[in-house]
Amino acid sequence: MSDTSITALVLKRLASGLVTLLIVSLLVFVGTEILPGDVAQAVLGQQATPEAVQAIRDELGLERPALIRYFEWLGGFVQGDLGRSLVSGREISEMIGQRLRNTFFLAAMAAVIAIPLSVGLGLLAALYEGRLTDKSISIFTLIFVSLPDFLLGYILLLVGAVVLGWFPALSKLTDSMTFWQQLNAVALPCLTLALVTSSHTMRLTRAAVLSVMHQPYVEMAALKGASRRRIILRHALPNALSPILNIVMLTLAFLVVGVVVVEAVFNYSGMGRLMIDAVSKRDMPLVQACGLIFASVYVLLNLTADILSLLTNPRRRRPK
């Protein structure tokens, strides 16, 4: 396929990604709008005098049509204006800045562990398919897949912080910390995310490699006397690279978006914890901003995975 055709396909994927983001933003806005109860009443609590409630409603523009408020909110988000928090009165962009960096730091450290570990174990399981190594890896990964995030987090918290005392019970980052002190602070939530995501990624990697192993050219290599290790590394792995890249990008998306529960367990000052606090206090502008940021990161990483799959897999560029 020509470069022009590849460019056209990539542009189509980008256009579909923008449409998806638009739909997601609409769902986030509608989802917060249809929540039961009065937002102004919930924010003010016992101090909810009629005058104070009306002031909050005027500040949020709740008297205006929802469609107009949606486009104003979306336009502000695109320009970097996320509004103000109803509870603290601070600019939401200022509140999110450090929290977002903390979440990305946690996700990046977990990815450094999870991706090499899961891809390596997936290749090892495929190499020894049906043997004790494959069965052992599958059993252990199935255990971690079955455990909920919060339960695994509490188990690691009990063992690593309470019993052994190796790591802090609360994962708190400060600017005065060195890089190694920050690693020690995020060790338990990082390990929780890494174990959960690597289990899923390992099983998908193993399945991707084994699906290639049944192709005719692989069987021909086996008939010529090539060892299984050589077949996997020289023949199966290069052709399984496209689905593995897709799996890795989806893993990164899960690491960024799936931190909400883990951050709550370890009281980590990231975006997930911020969103939970905003929901509990009915801080709707902050909830909307956090929800759209999480959704945007997930959609963009999935879009990146789709484009990488197009570029690395010629079969996906051929019309059916």
Domain extents in the chain: 97-284
Instruction: With cut-offs at 50, 70 and 90, classify the pLDDT of residue 45.
Output: low
Mean of the per-residue pLDDT values for the chain? 77
**DSSP assignment letter at 84:** B
User: Directed axis angle between helix 241-257 and helix 187-213, to 10°?
Assistant: 160
Answer yes or no: is pLDDT of 128 > 80: no
* Residue-wise pLDDT tens digits, 92-104: 888 888 888 888 8
Res 235: pLDDT: 66
Which residues is 84 bridged to in the sheet? 91
User: Looking only at Cα atoms, what is the longest distance across the chain?
Assistant: 85
Map tokens 């989806």 to a residue.
250
Give mean pLDDT, residues 218-239: 70
From the list 240, 249, 26, the residue with the least C-alpha distance to 122 is: 240
Res 170: pLDDT: 76
Answer yes or no: is pLDDT of 243 > 60: yes
User: Directed axis angle between helix 92-127 and helix 241-257, to 10°?
Assistant: 140
Res 75: pLDDT: 82
Alpha helices in the chain (DSSP H): 3-33, 39-44, 50-60, 66-78, 92-127, 132-146, 149-157, 179-185, 187-213, 216-223, 228-230, 237-239, 241-257, 259-265, 271-280, 284-312
How many Å apart are CA 107 and CA 146, to the nearest integer? 21
Integer Rg of the chain from CA: 24
Instruction: With cut-offs at 50, 70 and 90, classify the pLDDT of residue 22.
Output: confident
Instruction: With cut-offs at 50, 70 and 90, classify the pLDDT of residue 54.
Output: low
Q: Specify which of 23-27, 87-91, 147-151, 215-219 reaches the highest per-range mean pLDDT.
A: 23-27
Which residues, at least 6 apart from 97, have a Cβ–Cβ distance to it below 8 Å? none
Which overall architecture, per CATH, does domain 97-284 show? Answer: Orthogonal Bundle (1.10)
Are the CB atoms for 293 and 96 separated by under 8 Å? yes
How many Å apart are CA 182 and CA 311, to the nearest integer? 37
- CB atoms near residue 25 (< 10 Å): 20
Answer yes or no: is pLDDT of 319 > 60: no
Alpha-carbon dihedral 175, 178, 184, 185, rounded to 10 degrees: -10
From the list 307, 268, 310, 278, the residue with the least C-alpha distance to 28 is: 278
Residue with the larger pLDDT of the pair 9 and 319: 9
120 is written with which tokens? 């390596």
Map tokens 């933003």 to a residue.
25
Burial 172-185, CB ≥16 within 10 A → b, else e: ebeeeeeeeebeeb
Res 9: pLDDT: 75
Q: Specify which of 40-49, 158-167, 304-313 reaches the highest per-range mean pLDDT.
A: 158-167
Res 257: pLDDT: 73
Judged on CB neighbours under 10 Å (0-12, 13-18, 19+), 154 is middle
Give mean pLDDT, residues 29-39: 69
- Indicate the pTM of the whole model: 0.74
Res 237: pLDDT: 67
Answer yes or no: is pLDDT of 181 > 70: yes
